[in-house]
Amino acid sequence: MPRPLTLAACAALATAAPGLATAAPAAGSPTATDSATSPVPKASLTAADERALAGPLTIDHAVAVALSQNPGLRAATHRVRGQELLAQAERKPAGPALSLDIWQVPLARPWAIHESPMVMLALRQPIPPAGLLRRRAAARRHEAEAGSAERDVQAQALALAVRHAFIEYAAVTARHALHVEHQQVSERVLELARARQTVSGTLLEIARAETEAARAHAEVATDATTIDAARIRLNSLLARPPDAPLGPPVAMPVETAAAEAVELIARAREERPERRAAAARRDAAAMDLQAARREANMPAADVGLAYFPSTKTMHYNGYGLLVSVSLPWLSGQGRKRRDAASEFAAAATEDLAEAGLRIDREVAEALAATQTAARRWQTLRGAALPASERAREVALSGYEVGRADLLAMLATEGAYVEISLEIIDARAALDHALAELDRSSGGHLPRVALLPTARHGADR
pLDDT tens per residue across span 261-292: 888 999 999 999 999 999 999 999 999 999 99
**Structural domains of the chain in order of their starting residue, each with its CATH number:** 8-459 (1.20.1600.10)
Say what percent of the chain tops pLDDT 90: 51
Q: Which residues of 89-124 are buried (b: 16+ CB within 10 A; e: fewer)?
A: ebeeeeeeeeeeeeeeeeeeeeeeeeebeebbebeb
pLDDT of res. 85: 94
pLDDT in tens, 371-411: 999 999 999 999 898 988 888 888 888 777 776 677 877 88
Give the residue ranges of DSSP H helices in 238-332: 261-271, 273-297
pLDDT in tens, 188-244: 888 877 777 665 556 777 788 888 889 888 989 999 899 999 999 999 999 999 989
Assign residue 235 a region (left: φ > 0; alpha: ψ between -120 and 50; beta: otherwise): alpha
Q: For residues 249 and 21, is the Cβ–Cβ distance under 8 A?
A: yes
DSSP calls for 194-247: HHHTTTT--HHHHHHHHHHHHHHHHHHHHHHHHHHHHHHHHHHHTT--TT---P
pLDDT of res. 125: 93
pLDDT in tens, 85-120: 999 999 999 999 999 999 988 888 888 888 888 899
Beta bridge partners, 103, equal 118
pLDDT of res. 26: 34
d(CA 155, CA 161): 10
Please tell me whether the overall predicted TM-score, pTM, comes out greater than 0.95 for this model.
no
Position 458 confidence tier, pLDDT thresholds 50, 70, 90: very low
- Strand order across the beta sheet in which 97-103 lies: 97-103, 118-127, 301-308, 318-325
Residue type, 45: L
